[in-house]
Amino acid sequence: MGRYIIQRLLLVIPTVIVISIISFIVIQLPPGDFLSSYIATLEAGGQVVDEAQVAALRMQYGLGEPVYVQYFKWVGGIIFQGEFGQSFQWKRPVSELIGERMMLTVVLSLASLLLVWAISLPIGIYSAVRQYSPGDYFFTLISFIGLGVPNFLLALVLMWLAYTQFGMSVGGLFSPEYADAPWSWDKFVDFLGHLWIPAIVLAIGGIAGLIRIMRANLLDELPKPYVVTARSKGMTERALVLKYPVRVALNPFVSTIGWTLPGLVSGSIIVSVVLNLPTTGPMLLTALQSQDMYLAGAILLLLSILTVIGTLISDILLAWLDPRIRFN
Amino acid sequence: MSVATAPAAAEGASTAKVDINTTSQWGLIWHKFTRHRLAVICGVIVLLLYVVAAFVEFIAPYDPEAQAAANAYQAPTPIHFFDAEGNFHLQPFIYGTSSKRNLDTFELEFVEDTSVRYPIGLFVKGQPYKLWGLIPGDIRLFGVSDTKAQMFLLGADRQGRDMLSRIIHGTRISMSIGLVGVIMSFFIGIVVGGISGYFGGVVDIVCQRIIEFIRSIPTIPLWLGLAAALPSNWSSLQIYFSITVILSLIGWTGLAQVVRGRALALREEDFIMAARLSGSSRSKIIFKHMVPSFMSHIIAALTLAVPEMIIAETALSFLGLGLRYPAISWGVLLQEAQNLRSVALAPWLLAPGAMVVLAVLALNFLGDGLRDAADPYRR
């Protein structure tokens, strides 16, 4: 087990390096360097540009030097100083800006992941055990719709319904009085009260997918001889199903965290924009629109690393569950 | 052989007379597919959507850019069969509407004028258009021939443009971007997956690592990042192709995995071994022997990949980083629905979203049916 974990950890290093390169490419993509466009917007606004300040910025980011030097300056700043660069739009260091938003993104993604599990596991088992029952058809229908409706559309419809039917505005993660307040118990309760709507919206797609997987896996296991044997020995059906076939069917269930998590993080971006949540999503969008590339690159980098860590945890969990993977 | 075919033959006899023993593989696949009722219905829907996409100019009742401030946010025009006196008319008709500003709420209110009927006809003369930008014409599939009345079957948007016409025009880009994107990712997927599955060993491990890596990063932020870099002065056509390239650069991994899985299974088959022993080159074995035998699986996987592309394009355009005005796609149309107040005022702004859901569901069910039919020998 220890050896497997170390192997798996070593694999993360090249992955993170490639992610950082891709994020840096995205930072570099807009035509011209960002400083020129920054100066252009300042001048368009009628502001005077301080030549000395520009020169200092040029120096700091290594502009004009070869691309790989710029890359190492950027990565070096992140590793040694925890410094992701300067946001030109906000005129503040990126690290100050994204801290809390990043945390809220993590909390939101984790909450949806838990929801995905908590809802799809029992429904998947039910659908398989009672195959072709009205309940099974109902959940099959629901899960197909869940797969077909993009979650931002779901968020949009939900907001519209809440607004027109109940006259309330869904959206945000805090009530106005808590938005800028420091964390307290009251704020936390308020936060939980807001969290569940975006969490469900995000989770729907994953729930639909996992119900299908769980149902199919369990249906493969149920007719196997060991199930028949256990049944013939007089085990109660409930204990029988939960103890053996479900455990076997659970395996692919765990391995799907690997693709559920990137999906959730991905979805959280656009759902957050629709529901106006104070997560990284809206910030990434405005950063990209105004070509505030260091901010955008940092968000892209951190979100990707987040999913890599999630996948890592799911792989280790899977190896712990299934000895065949450990020894392979 | 006889044991395996007996029940299948009995089933075939009950639905359609198909001779299981002599039908080609594609015949068997078709036979199995048609037994999947829902998939067939969804196949028809998909076909219809592509027919609409091909002839948007003719099918849309109005020019999608024709605007009139007086019609802003006009509610869907009701279609009548009974006139104000209660008489039945076989040909459906609409009434003209006049707008009036309510002086209490300052909202435009639309009142039907029941004095004149405007029948809806087929193949009526409407606003002129150019089919595919080439062939001029002015006959439209359906509409009101009298220009004094305008029908808004799905309401009008902020600038008084007909939503139905705009949605029909959006069909072309939204449905085709999925297809074009999937064809591009198909080529990447089949090359990488085929090589990976055929060679195995180190090549396979490297390809798998690349695929795993791409799958482990969240796609939407990356798509957004790449799409944001597209120069804003590019033409709609350039943006369209760049967006499809961006979508397929990240979206090919699923297809590659299907191809690899099939290739790994086929590698052990006797006829591949026979081809290798008789001295066929590797590329010949891959493209001449292996590809045809997993083509059916590929088609199913392709069908399932199209809706992902459609959703991705819709999401990008919705956020304003994909296609932009003057291009019309469902995502571009949904941008109007970003403002909650206008949606509350005009819920029909969400109609393009309904089209996305319809297309995605239909393609998903069709793909499921195709996947089940892809291996007609399995029971």
CATH number at A141 reads 1.10.3720.10
ipTM of the complex as predicted: 0.77
Q: Both A70 and A156 in a single domain?
A: no
Q: Where are the domains of chain B?
A: 40-54+167-373, 71-160
Q: Both A75 and A146 in a single domain?
A: no
Name residues whose C-beta falls within 8 Å of residue A211's C-beta, 6 or more positions apart in sequence: A120, A123, A124, A127, A139, A143
3 state DSSP class of B151: coil
How many angstroms separate the CA atoms of A186 and A106, rounded? 21
How many angstroms separate the CA atoms of B21 and B26, rounded? 13
Domain boundary among A58, A81, A104: A81
Q: Both A155 and A238 in a single domain?
A: yes
Residue A253 inside a domain? The answer is: yes
Rounded to the nearest 10 degrees, the angle between the axes of helix A151-165 and helix A185-221 is 130
Residue A108 inside a domain? The answer is: yes
Chain B partners within 8 Å of A149 (Cβ)? 357, 360
Residue B356: which of A153, A262, A266 has the nearest Cβ?
Answer: A153
What is residue B237's predicted lDDT score, i.e. its pLDDT?
79
Residue A89 inside a domain? The answer is: no
B217 in contact with A at a CB cutoff of 8 Å?
yes
Whole-Å CA distances, B5 to A87, B31, B324: 69, 14, 56
- Edge-to-edge strand ranges of the sheet holding B108-131: B80-82, B88-101, B108-131, B135-144
Query: What chain A residue is nearest to B309 in terms of C-alpha separation?
Result: A150
CATH topology of domain B40-54+167-373: MetI-like fold (1.10.3720)
Residue A88 inside a domain? The answer is: no
Residue A129 inside a domain? The answer is: yes
Contact: B320, A289; criterion CB under 8 Å? yes
Residue A163: which of B320, B344, B357 has the nearest Cβ?
Answer: B344
Residue A86 inside a domain? The answer is: no
| Local mean pLDDT, 10-residue blocks, chain A (328 residues) | 82 86 82 68 70 74 74 81 75 80 86 88 88 85 81 84 76 72 77 82 84 84 86 85 82 70 82 84 84 82 84 80 68
Chain A partners within 8 Å of B347 (Cβ)? 160, 164
Q: Both A55 and A133 in a single domain?
A: no
Q: How many structural domains does chain A have?
A: 2
What is residue A263's predicted lDDT score, i.e. its pLDDT?
80
| Local mean pLDDT, 10-residue blocks, chain B (379 residues) | 42 52 74 79 89 83 76 76 76 76 72 75 76 76 74 78 85 87 85 79 83 79 81 79 83 80 77 87 80 75 83 86 82 83 80 88 83 66
Query: What chain B residue is nearest to A13 in terms of C-alpha separation?
Result: B213
Helices (H), chain A: 2-28, 34-44, 51-61, 67-81, 94-129, 134-148, 151-165, 185-221, 225-232, 237-243, 245-255, 257-275, 280-289, 293-321, 323-327
Domain boundary among A14, A47, A81: A81
3 state DSSP class of B99: strand
Strands B88-101 and B80-82: antiparallel
Which structural domain range is residue A58 located in?
Answer: 2-81
Interface A:B, Cβ pairs < 8 A: 121
pTM over 0.90: no
Ramachandran region, residue B160 (left: φ > 0; alpha: ψ -120 to 50; beta: rest):
left
H-helix or E-strand spanning residue B2:
helix B2-15
Q: Both A115 and A252 in a single domain?
A: yes
Q: Both A18 and A62 in a single domain?
A: yes
How many angstroms separate the CA atoms of B163 and B336, rounded? 11
Spatial contact of B339 and B75, defined as CB atoms under 8 Å apart: no
Residue A87 inside a domain? The answer is: no
